[in-house]
Structure 1
Amino acid sequence: MKLRDLLEGIPVLSATADLELEIPNVSYDSRATRPGDLFVAMRGFATDGHAFIGKAAAAGAAAVVCEEPPADGAVPYVQVENSRRSLAVIGANFFGHPARSMTMAAVTGTNGKTSTTYLLKAILEQEAGAKVGLIGTNQNMIGAEVIPTERTTPESFELQRLFAQMRDAGCTHVVMEVSSHALALDRVYGVEYAVGVFTNLTQDHLDFHKTMEAYCDAKAILFRHCAVGVVNADDSWTGRLLADATCRRFSYAVKAPADLRAENVVLKAEGISFDAVTNTERVPISVGIPGGFMVYNTLDVLGAALALGIPLEKSADALSRVPHVKGRVEVVPTPGKDYTILIDYAHSPDGLQNVLTAVKGFAKGRTVALFGCGGDRDKTKRPKMGKIAADIADFVVVTSDNPRTEKPGDIIADILPGLEGSDTPHVVIEDRVEAIHWIMDHAQPGDVIALCGKGHETYQEINHVKHHMDEREIVAEYLAAGK
């Protein structure tokens, strides 16, 4: 594709590159740059791509898109105001604007994004006959085909590539999680959605956003780029989120007045049920996933489906048949044992509170919480999570999560003040595998043990290396050894 065509829609400040140049590929990492590439130098969270223009040129880049022209003029360049946004537009141009040929749905919020996307995908497939692409934390999917993922929302060029794969595979709809990072860093810049969903906003990612207000404002970007915004009227941040929204609003709630409400809510170990109520109808809903938070996850799905033209009754039929979402209140088989083990991705204060509250509601014995906190992330949530565990659980095991570049002991030391002064007994076992073994050895009849934080993940990240760790395997192997 000619450079001129790749730059369509991008204000160019100055250029020395030949706009008739044929560009075979685009790169934004100098280590992946090949001869003839267009290299886009972006300012990142930790590094500045402008520092790697020389390496990209040495690797054979034919031209560079940048905000500051190369000082030595060694490589032809195109100067733009914003390289990140330019990469997003270049990606859309390169792959032929694939999102325009599919119905796009996005879900943002602190918790519930993954469950919401999976439930909405199921409704679209079962009730609209759609082939659905899914992009999210657990994995990416093209219909039933699974594509592993590294982050919730890929970088913009890779995202456009993925959209193109979905379009070429015959997808009619795309349902995707859109993280606050993706919105703030323009990974979804230029993408317009038929519907955007807001689940909730609670403390997370403050290592990046610094304040809850900035975190909310990042989420709010989505609602300037969707036709209909389906929002949680019970969430205190919704007002700020919608302050500059340009979309039509559709609200859902359990407590507040809303366009769609849940009434007669029943929470059981087997799942949830309630009446979905609008101004014109009342439809019974049943979902086989437990927890009060699932009421909200189901309401937002029903609202999104309505915005996409699927009636409540059809959505209700599909939801009654959906399987569990991996890593979300997922039961791990423990044959022959009189205790239950659950795996959940809860890694924020609100997420931990949600899953432990759900467990507390159906556990016949103790509610046991095993959790840690991720390294190189918001440290202020660590003692808060310790207090939540102590306040709700009957027994707490504090262990490691993904320590990344921090020492696990230092992370645990940040958690423990939250347990001080509590009567809830706890133990500290730094090694997560040993911690799981210990709690299985000390389980009591009727206990429900919640392994929190890893969820769908099958690894533990230590010093930039991902070591295989699947909690399902850990439990199964320990039981197979006769423990």
Structure 2
Amino acid sequence: MKLRELLNDIDILTASADLEMEITGVSYDSRTTRSGDLFVAMKGFAVDGHAFIGKAVAAGAAAVLCEKVPEEDIPYVQAADSRRGLAVVGANFFGHPADSMTMVAVTGTNGKTTTTYLLKSILEQALGAKVGLIGTNQNMIGDEVIPTERTTPESFELQKLFAQMRDAGCTHVVMEASSHALALDRVYGVHYAVGIFTNLTQDHLDFHKTMEAYCDAKAILFRNCDTGVCNADDPWTDRLLAEATCRKFTYSEKAPSDLRAEEICLEADHIAFTAVTADQRVPIRVNIPGGFMVYNTLDVLGAALALGISLEKSAEVLARVPHVKGRVEVVPTPGKDYTILIDYAHSPDGMVNVLSSVKGFAKGRTIALFGCGGDRDKTKRPKMGKVAADIADFAIVTTDNPRTEKPADIIADILPGLEGSDTPYVVVVDRVEAIHWAMDHAEKDDVIVLCGKGHETYQEIDHVKHHMDEREIVADYLNAGK
């Protein structure tokens, strides 16, 4: 492809490169640069790609797209924003694949993954659509599973994934749009038929610094979609929609809205409620427990309505939808009189949601086993400790993904939230040992909630991901006769 074609829709400030030159590939990491590539130098969160232009040149880059004129002797194109430039280059390189599919994005602190899975099921079963899914658990093209490293890929990989979906015959894409992805322009230039907002609670403040900045990052989605389906009960919604250019559709349990949940019934194995609009009342049942699932279902129903799918059709599908991996997932414990659940809850609000739900149906104690991720927002650590102290009957503080921090230091940040409460707790630093401890000390009808890992099957320590599947840990311990 000619360089000129790749740069279409990018405002060029200066250039020394011949815009008619042929470009055979695109890279933004000098370690993956190949001969003939356009190397895109971006200012990153931790490093500045301009510092690696020399390495890209040595690897054979044909030209550089950059914000600062390079010192190296290489053909270059200078743009005001090379990060956005990468997104545009990706769309041009792969032929604007998103334009040929119906795009839906979900943003919010909690509930994104469950929302995408439920909506994918409705689109497939109500419309007969082939659906691409992009998210925290995995990426999917129809039924084909593609492993994922982050919630929303970098813009060039995202466009490549869109192209794979288009070429495989997908008609719809449902994706999680993280606040990082929105703030760092990974989805720049993508227009969505529907944008969904679940909720906003404290998370990722190591990156965004303030809740206002966190909200404003998510608000970007609602300037790039046709219809915004938003939670009217969330206190951040007004700010989120302040500069929105989309049609607004709201859902709620309490506030006035376009779609409301009434006659809510929460059971140990399902939720049920009546979905109410200005002219309809439709009974809804989803076989996933938890009060938060009411909101996760309402946003899906609202998105489906925006895409022309009736409440009745959505209700039929939702009644058959299987459980989502890592979200209030029951772990088999044959022969035992206690229950173990796995949930991805890794923020204070996430823990409130799952522990409150379990507390509502547990006949015995609600036991919270949790830690906090390393190299992330430290201010939420004591808050998560306090959530456990306020809701659980017993807490086991352990390790999550410590990354480059010492587990003991992370735990020391959690404990102030538990100290002074009447809730008993223990500290077991090793997570496998902590799970074993919980199983050894469980009493009849107890519910042990393994918080934080959810779908993850690894533990990240010093940049290395070590295999650790909590389902296997439980099964192996039971098989050993414990």
TM-score, normalised relative to structure 2: 1.00
Give the alignment of 1:226-375 within 5 angstroms: 226-375=225-374
Give SS of 1:240's match: helix
Alpha-carbon distance between aligned partners in 1 of 2:141 and 2:22, rounded to the nearest angstrom = 31
Give SS of 1:115's match: helix
Q: Deviations over 1:98-133 (max 9, x none)?
A: 000000000000000000000000000000100000
Aligned position for 2:17:
17
Give the letter aligned to residue 141 of structure 1. M
Alpha-carbon distance between aligned partners in 1 of 2:429 and 2:56, rounded to the nearest angstrom = 43
Shift of 1:325: 0.3
Aligned position for 1:155:
154
- Kindly indicate whether residue 26 of structure 2 is the aligned counterpart of residue 59 of structure 1: no
Give SS of 1:50's match: helix
Alpha-carbon distance between aligned partners in 2 of 1:19 and 1:354, rounded to the nearest angstrom = 54
Alpha-carbon distance between aligned partners in 2 of 1:446 and 1:390, rounded to the nearest angstrom = 20
Q: Deviations over 1:213-247 (max 9, x none)?
A: 00000000000000000000000000000000000
Q: Deviations over 1:172-209 (max 9, x none)?
A: 00000000000000000000000000000000000000
Give SS of 2:13's match: strand
Alpha-carbon distance between aligned partners in 1 of 2:326 and 2:21, rounded to the nearest angstrom = 48
Aligned position for 1:464:
463
Give the alignment of 1:48-127 within 5 angstroms: 48-72=48-72, 74-127=73-126
Alpha-carbon distance between aligned partners in 1 of 2:330 and 2:163, rounded to the nearest angstrom = 36
Give the letter aligned to residue 150 of structure 1. E
Give the letter aligned to residue 343 of structure 2. D
Give SS of 2:227's match: strand
Alpha-carbon distance between aligned partners in 2 of 1:85 and 1:129, rounded to the nearest angstrom = 35
Aligned position for 1:224:
223
Runs of at least 5 residues in structure 1 that lack an aligned partner in the other structure: none
Give SS of 1:183's match: helix
Q: Deviations over 1:339-396 (max 9, x none)?
A: 0000000000000000000100110100000000000000000000000001100000
- Kindly indicate whether residue 394 of structure 2 is the aligned counterpart of residue 389 of structure 1: no
Give the letter aligned to residue 293 of structure 2. M
Give SS of 1:188's match: coil
Give the letter aligned to residue 155 of structure 2. S
Aligned position for 1:145:
144
Give the letter aligned to residue 423 of structure 1. D
Alpha-carbon distance between aligned partners in 2 of 1:379 and 1:270, rounded to the nearest angstrom = 34
Q: Deviations over 1:442-469 (max 9, x none)?
A: 0000000000000000000000000000
Aligned position for 1:40:
40
Shift of 1:424: 0.6
Alpha-carbon distance between aligned partners in 2 of 1:251 and 1:87, rounded to the nearest angstrom = 34
Shift of 1:265: 0.1
- Kindly indicate whether residue 403 of structure 2 is the aligned counterpart of residue 404 of structure 1: yes
Q: Deviations over 1:12-63 (max 9, x none)?
A: 0011111111111100000000011000000000000000000000000000
Give SS of 2:416's match: helix
Alpha-carbon distance between aligned partners in 1 of 2:353 and 2:5, rounded to the nearest angstrom = 49
Q: Give every structure 1 segment of 4 or more consecutive aligned residues whose post-TM-superposition deviation is greater than 6 Å.
A: none
Q: Deviations over 1:263-288 (max 9, x none)?
A: 00000001100000000000000000
Alpha-carbon distance between aligned partners in 1 of 2:34 and 2:69, rounded to the nearest angstrom = 21
Alpha-carbon distance between aligned partners in 1 of 2:18 and 2:31, rounded to the nearest angstrom = 24
Q: Deviations over 1:139-191 (max 9, x none)?
A: 00000000000000000000000000000000000000000000000000000
Shift of 1:71: 1.8
Alpha-carbon distance between aligned partners in 2 of 1:174 and 1:21, rounded to the nearest angstrom = 34
Shift of 1:441: 0.4
Alpha-carbon distance between aligned partners in 2 of 1:47 and 1:305, rounded to the nearest angstrom = 41
Aligned position for 1:213:
212
Give the letter aligned to residue 84 of structure 2. R
Shift of 1:85: 0.3
Give SS of 1:321's match: coil
Alpha-carbon distance between aligned partners in 1 of 2:304 and 2:119, rounded to the nearest angstrom = 7
Alpha-carbon distance between aligned partners in 2 of 1:455 and 1:415, rounded to the nearest angstrom = 20
- Kindly indicate whether residue 181 of structure 2 is the aligned counterpart of residue 182 of structure 1: yes
Aligned position for 2:419:
420
Aligned position for 1:130:
129
Give the letter aligned to residue 63 of structure 2. A
Alpha-carbon distance between aligned partners in 1 of 2:355 and 2:70, rounded to the nearest angstrom = 54
Aligned position for 2:2:
2
Give SS of 1:186's match: coil
Give the letter aligned to residue 294 of structure 1. M
Give the letter aligned to residue 448 of structure 1. V
Alpha-carbon distance between aligned partners in 1 of 2:32 and 2:267, rounded to the nearest angstrom = 51
Shift of 1:420: 1.0
Shift of 1:331: 0.2
Q: CA RMSD of the aligned region, Å? A: 0.3
Give the letter aligned to residue 128 of structure 2. G
Give SS of 2:121's match: helix
Alpha-carbon distance between aligned partners in 1 of 2:117 and 2:399, rounded to the nearest angstrom = 28
Alpha-carbon distance between aligned partners in 1 of 2:463 and 2:139, rounded to the nearest angstrom = 22
Alpha-carbon distance between aligned partners in 1 of 2:348 and 2:385, rounded to the nearest angstrom = 9
Q: How many residues align?
A: 482
Alpha-carbon distance between aligned partners in 2 of 1:336 and 1:165, rounded to the nearest angstrom = 45
Give the letter aligned to residue 244 of structure 1. E
Alpha-carbon distance between aligned partners in 1 of 2:339 and 2:71, rounded to the nearest angstrom = 63
Alpha-carbon distance between aligned partners in 2 of 1:408 and 1:87, rounded to the nearest angstrom = 37
Alpha-carbon distance between aligned partners in 1 of 2:281 and 2:103, rounded to the nearest angstrom = 28
Alpha-carbon distance between aligned partners in 2 of 1:383 and 1:281, rounded to the nearest angstrom = 44
Give the letter aligned to residue 8 of structure 1. N
Alpha-carbon distance between aligned partners in 2 of 1:292 and 1:4, rounded to the nearest angstrom = 53
Shift of 1:471: 0.1
Q: Deviations over 1:312-349 (max 9, x none)?
A: 00000000000000000000000000000000000000
Alpha-carbon distance between aligned partners in 2 of 1:291 and 1:43, rounded to the nearest angstrom = 42
% same residue: 82
Alpha-carbon distance between aligned partners in 1 of 2:6 and 2:409, rounded to the nearest angstrom = 48
